[in-house]
Amino acid sequence: MDNIKDRKWHLTEDGEVLLFDKPYRWTSFDLVNKFRYWACRRLGVKKLKVGHAGTLDPLATGLMIICTGRCTKQLDTLQQGKKEYIATLKLGQTTPSFDLETEPDAEYPTEHITEQLISEVLPKFVGIIEQTPPAYSAIRVDGKRAYALARKGREVNLKPRLLVVEEIELLSTDLPEIIIRVVCSKGTYIRALARDIGVALGSGAHLTALRRTRIGEYRIEDAYPIELLDELLKRYVEPLPKEEKDGK
């Protein structure tokens, strides 16, 4: 892959594919909007075509692919890439959102859960599986986002979807908490996977941390911290000449 860190960024016209590490509690649009705002200021233009290749929940961190200019045409292709996540699950407890966005709503037994049981259950989620998305998701229901309805206390019924989980690896066990690595297809909700793993263990579960580490060939190790954006733009982006600004 081209090492973009060794050359100037050409954000307009042909555009660039850039990797950023989304911070905790930022929405995907927060990151895109911040990038667009500061990039436009650096270039001296009012508009810049910017898009991202796949959202991350506000409480998740990790890899986001930002495309500019003509590279935005690659977004659909980039979104099809395999995703890799590191997920921390708390067993014995659920929340309505299946993460820390909402308060716990039920407690379940965990005394029977062992590392051996976990190791026997996880492979059952590898392959083509059927998954019902969480109510707290961006899926549209009657023209509105499901999470908007769920936050208002409305009942949200979403249809199951077929997806592919290629790998699940148990990284650590410190009951009632486990950490897993998941490689999956587009459209997989790791929060829903946590929910279903909890049920399969005869208990409940929700996410307490989630980090996306890979999208296709792109890896988090090559991503920039968004906190360095201003410095990066000064280093890699040249302001446009006046005649080019006037033509934008």
Just list the catalytic residues: 57
Neighbours of 17 (CB within 10 A): 19
Residue 12 and residue 240 in contact, taking contact as beta carbons nearer than 8 Å: yes
- For residue 14, what are the CA distances in angstroms to 44, 68, 191, 225, 233? 18, 8, 37, 24, 17
Q: Which structure tokens are listed for 124?
A: 């059952």
Cβ pair 90, 174 in contact under 8 A: no
Sign of CA dihedral 96, 101, 106, 108: positive
> Token pair of 12, please?
């307009």
CA 110 to each of CA 114, 124, 211: distance values in angstroms, whole numbers, following the listed order: 9, 19, 25
